[in-house]
Amino acid sequence: MITGSDALLQALIGEGVDTIFGYPGGAIMPVYDRLYDYSRELRHILVRHEQGAVHAAQGYARVSGKVGVCLATSGPGATNLITGIADAMIDSTPLVCIVGQVSAALLGTDAFQETDMVGMSMPTTKWNCQVTDARDIAEAVAKAFYIAGTGRPGPVLIDFTKNAQLGEVDFNYQKCNYIRSYQPNPTVEKQEIEAAAAAINAAKKPFALLGQGVVLANAEQEVVSFLEKADIPFGWTILGKSAVSEQHPLNKGMLGMHGNYAPNAKTNECDVLIAMGMRFDDRVTSDVKVYAQQAKIVHLEIDKAEVNKNVHADFPVVGNLKETLPLLVQKINKAKHTEWIQSFAPLQLVENQKVIDKTLHPAAGDITIGEAVATVSDSLQGNAILVTDVGQQQMIALRYFKVNSTRSVVTSGGLGTMGFGLPAAIGAKVAAPKQEVVLFVGDGGIQMTLQELGTIMQDQIGVKIVVLNNSFLGMVRQWQQLFHQRRYSFTPLQSPDYLTLTKAYGIASYRVTKREELQQGIDAMLNSPDAFLLEIKIAPEDNVFPMIPAGAPFDKIRFE
């Protein structure tokens, strides 16, 4: 017989968990007491705020491909996880979030630090449950990991009452591999494959869109086989950035509001549009009334709820990409679309002339965001994991920072969570300690979770932090400049002295204020074996272009 707390920890070990991100408190104290004796099996990272725990678990999950785990107490500890849980839900990140709860006898009495986490988290979780008896913990954990990590991944929450943590149970753990009401991998319909293949074979101007679903399905090689056999150019969403090498000759760049000109334009020119593991988010489609109206749309997606939700699919293929793509490859013809692929080049030239050359090679003046990002990227030659916060630096980093391998991009997509970057970088580095992890963050975003420098200090986590400081909330300021007559309402931002601050945390740092100092600062950062913060002062009114205004048709694209 063991306690419910021991049962929880042994169940986590049974699921292959090696790292937990968490913060202790009264209602989860029995678990933390038992965790004291599991230091060899389970590494616990003490964050400085529960939001840091869930974002770190996200970063860990994205890079490792495993289910991330975070642990918090009841009440405010649990509610502090909600932002990260919502972020994980919309970005399909597998998490198991375990929160303490008051004893079952006190439920519903408004006891100290009691909150209805099952009700509160229901819209933002793939599944949740409350455990009020120690005998139920093994089954709850097994279900949680199975649901979180299979099908379209997502976050799961277990609300664990204090009496259940203290109660005793005859423990026997078995992994879950079946739930009658849950079918993570839909049955692939043969006729859907055949119809999609016929449409692709008839295409003269096919174009593919790659989303994060490619990575989540571990279907990177299957996608390459498909694209190369049918000779189809492709673009990628921000979460699909690392699915296929950016050096691949069929790669035409990033889609969406701040994406590359050619793939956005060709979306509205192709005759067959093949979407794989992406959900036609509004930041990709903009005005859906005029989005790809000329094209027949093939949508390969594991989540049936996403099919026809935003954009009508003429040829839906519901199923796991790891299964559906090989079936599709068997049915498609080997093809050549040389003239179509070459038609992207003039548009790429336009973007180079109007945006990229000016951004990466400014004649004079302050350092640009793109210049800073590209110089760091060149120094690493793609051999790093890219983590971003949210804002201008996010879009610029996704455009100009090159990566060589899959699972090497960690960013907040659907929710756009400022403050995500620093704790997510911690999780990414814990998942891949031998790889360089570089975070790009604005002076606004870093101040939202700045306390996690303490986590870096205590656990000696060697992340490289690049603060792009323009003394503004940059993306909001850009919109104020372009659409609100430069009425900079509460976007000018004063920052602390980051060099003094990092010194207090025992973290090395360097400040770049001039172009001549940029490479020297980058070298100092990359030559450091430990955590390092590089602050780069950038042009205050530097903007991210191209830009399609929110909800506007593609022909309203702006280059300046």
Catalytic residues: 50, 112-113, 162, 475
Query: What is the SS3 string spanning 455-514?
Result: HHHHHCCCCEEEEEECCECHHHHHHHHHHCCCCCCCCECCCCCHHHHHHHCCCEEEEECC
User: Rg of the chain's alpha carbons, rounded to an integer?
Assistant: 24
Chain Cα centroid distance, residue 463 = 17
The CA distance from 385 to 402, in Å, is 10
Which residue is listed with tokens 């204090």? 162
In a 13 Å sphere around the CA of 30, the CA atoms on its Cβ side amount to 24
Q: Where are the beta strands (DSSP E) in 10-126?
A: 19-22, 43-46, 68-72, 95-101
Whether residue 430 contacts residue 64, with contact meaning beta carbons closer than 8 Å, is answered with no
**Cis link prior to 123 (omega < 30° from 0)?**
no
Residue 463 near residue 425, CB atoms below 8 Å: yes
Pairing relation of β-strands 68-72 and 95-101?
parallel
In total, the chain counts a number of residues equal to 560
Residue 213 CA to residue 205 CA, distance in Å, equals 23
Tokens of residue 102, six digits: 């008051």
In the structure encoding, which two tokens stand for residue 115, read together? Answer: 């909150």
